[in-house]
Structure 1
Amino acid sequence: MREAIETAATRADCVADSAGGLTFHISDWVRPEPGSYDDWSGALVLVRRGAGPADDAEVRLPLGPTADGRLQAALPGTVALPEGRWDVFVAYGEQEPRRLVPGLHDLRSLVDRRPGPSTSPLSVRIPYATKHGNLSLRTWRRVPHAEAGEIRLEDGTMTVSGRLYRVEHPDGWLDGAVAEARCRRDRSLVCTAPVRGDGATFSFTLDYARLAERWGGGADLWDLWLRPADGAAAPVRLARILDDVADKKEIFTYPVRTVDAPHGTAAVRPYYTVDNDLSVRVADPD
């Protein structure tokens, strides 16, 4: 992975489209040398964090001038980017790439995004500012995808509604499907609930007391999946990625509910992981 270097105040504005693409506009770039753009060889460079030398660790997008004097690079939704976090640089010729900082982001097309029918992988890219103030992208690439929507908490249960994407026949996929809560501490512990399907939409209800039955203190984390009937397809992780929020863990928060368990009183709440996947935490009360 390329090490971060000291950043000049070069900003990139980002515009998202409903197909998962991004366009980058650089308005305060200083030309490396005087003259025209006839010999321009600039690039926007995306570098994936944590990628090994044999991985797809770098993507270069050509930069070109626009009529208003800015530089522009396009990242179409059809360009396959592995899931992860990508740091954004600008480069000219053989010069060392420099980190970009966020400018104005127009992400309106990502809010309540509803992808059209397709069986191709679903590409999601959300630009965001790192804790150091640099520009990065959070990317997902999933097929199929189970998008979590409303989460309703009542009477010691949680009811999750959502929608299935990127399957050829979603009606048949949901017939007989179940929701699975898988315990990270012990993968043999799985709690299931029937799924109610209506076209591509689904819902299910999990009983908190069932999740707490095998809890023995500390914190148990349960990851939520959809599993089709009869092993017709691979299970799908529930996540919420079809909006403009790159990191939901500290933003989408849900109240804690307490339930009686064999070990004692347990505090239970749903939450989104650092990857925006949906999970449930069973732990000691604060």
Structure 2
Amino acid sequence: MKPTSTTEEFTIVSAPAPAFDAGNPSADCIADSAGGLTFDLDAPHGTDAAAHWSGALVLRPRGAEDESADVLLPLAPTGEGRLRAVLPSTVALPEGRWDVHVASGEEPPRRLLPGLADLRSLVDRRPGPSTSPLAVRIPYATRHGNLSLRSWLRGPHAEAGDVHVGDGTLTVCGTLYRVEDAAAWLAGAAVEARLRRDPAVRVAAAVTAGGDQDRADFSAVLPWAALGEHWHGGTDVWDLWLCRGAGEEEVRIARLLDDVADKRHVFVYPARSLSTTGAPAQAIPCYTCDNDLSVRVEERPPVG
């Protein structure tokens, strides 16, 4: 009996991309002095054998409601059972906090945990001569133990240096970067303390400048008494700016050129008593959550 012929349908199915193991994977970070970052993480089992495998490191701005602002960095096997993604300094990453995820195949992006971080190149970083915005990216562990980045993009940039807390004055030193002629920029410039609750209230001090064309050091001396005159209780915050002149360019003074993502509890300065018309007060230089330099004026706690 002749066999009955049948028509068979053949469906070509691609094997699914190798998946990461249960739990969130971790990524090691290496920073370079130009502001770039390299991320290395363990590859899923079978990655090297699956030529079609693809994945990406996903940088998502904190608080984003959708994926439209995501920055995708392709992941590629390194040949050592690891994957690598690179964020070059030339890729503009807007200022803010970016949560780091990994995406593979059809899996939804998963948060990455922090691994080893080599940030030595960020310590005492000295940007080269350029007028392009300065890119600073510092990886850090969130309070929930996840990997995130703090990104700054500033030009010009006034890098805070030594802060001298005297009995009657506050001396602020810094360095100006990312301007065409730093000496000319600083000619006639001033450091301004601006009262955050009323920015029209300002205390200014002329700068003393030094340096060369591409980089210039500056310093200014602010009197504590001038800040105390405007305090009427509670907590006042004065933000410090480097200003070229009325109506001209102004730059927030900040400390960014190191490996510390949040300086609030790392750089701690002594308090100085203020003479006010009300309760005893004190002034304390401090850094904000964005590493900008400010001065906090508040009631002085009782002694003993």
Residue 152 (structure 2) pairs with residue 140 (structure 1): yes
The runs of 5 or more residues in structure 2 that have no matched partner are 1-21
**Alignment partner, residue 17 of structure 1:** 32
Structure 1 residue 8, shift from structure 2 partner:
1.6
Which of residues 189, 200, 203 in structure 1 aligns to 2:219?
Answer: 203
Residue 296 (structure 2) pairs with residue 281 (structure 1): yes
**Alignment partner, residue 41 of structure 1:** 54
Matched residues, number: 276
Which of residues 276, 283, 292 in structure 2 aligns to 1:268?
Answer: 283
> Within 5 A, what are the aligned runs for 1:1-286?
8-27=23-42, 29-31=43-45, 36-51=49-64, 57-199=69-211, 200-229=216-245, 231=247, 233-286=248-301
Structure 1 distance, partners of 2:112, 2:205, is 46
What amino acid is aligned across from residue 177 of structure 1 in structure 2? A
Quick check: 1:124–1:140 contact (8 Å CA) kept in 2? yes
1:233-279 C-alpha deviation (Å, 9 max, x unpaired): 42100000100000001111111111211224211000000100000
- Measured on the aligned residues, the alpha-carbon RMSD in Å equals 1.6
Quick check: 2:167–2:272 contact (8 Å CA) kept in 1? no
Structure 2 distance, partners of 1:141, 1:178, is 23
Runs of 4+ off more than 4 Å: none
Quick check: 2:132–2:178 contact (8 Å CA) kept in 1? yes
Structure 2 distance, partners of 1:159, 1:133, is 37
What amino acid is aligned across from residue 258 of structure 2 in structure 1? D
Structure 1 distance, partners of 2:128, 2:48, is 45
What amino acid is aligned across from residue 276 of structure 1 in structure 2? N
Which SS does the other structure have where 1:229 is aligned?
coil
Quick check: 1:40–1:64 contact (8 Å CA) kept in 2? no
What amino acid is aligned across from residue 108 of structure 1 in structure 2? R
Structure 2 distance, partners of 1:34, 1:134, is 24
1:59-112 C-alpha deviation (Å, 9 max, x unpaired): 000000113221000000000001111000111122101111011000000001
Structure 1 distance, partners of 2:290, 2:38, is 23
Structure 2 distance, partners of 1:274, 1:35, is 42
Which SS does the other structure have where 2:89 is aligned?
coil
Cα gap change, 1:257/1:169 in structure 2, threshold over 3 Å: closer, same or farther? Answer: same
TM-score normalised by the chain length of structure 2: 0.87
What amino acid is aligned across from residue 225 of structure 2 in structure 1? A
**Alignment partner, residue 10 of structure 2:** none
Larger radius of gyration: 2
Structure 1 residue 38, shift from structure 2 partner:
1.1
Structure 1 residue 56, shift from structure 2 partner:
6.2
What amino acid is aligned across from residue 12 of structure 1 in structure 2? A
What amino acid is aligned across from residue 129 of structure 2 in structure 1? P
Which SS does the other structure have where 1:217 is aligned?
coil
Cα gap change, 1:165/1:223 in structure 2, threshold over 3 Å: closer, same or farther? Answer: same
Structure 1 residue 52, shift from structure 2 partner:
5.5
1:212-237 C-alpha deviation (Å, 9 max, x unpaired): 10111111110000110354x42100
Structure 1 distance, partners of 2:242, 2:261, is 23
The runs of 5 or more residues in structure 1 that have no matched partner are 1-6
Structure 2 distance, partners of 1:37, 1:18, is 35
Structure 1 distance, partners of 2:172, 2:165, is 9
What amino acid is aligned across from residue 181 of structure 2 in structure 1? H
What amino acid is aligned across from residue 205 of structure 1 in structure 2? V
**Alignment partner, residue 3 of structure 1:** none
Structure 2 distance, partners of 1:34, 1:114, is 39
Which SS does the other structure have where 1:171 is aligned?
helix
Structure 1 residue 35, shift from structure 2 partner:
6.4
TM-score normalised by the chain length of structure 1: 0.93
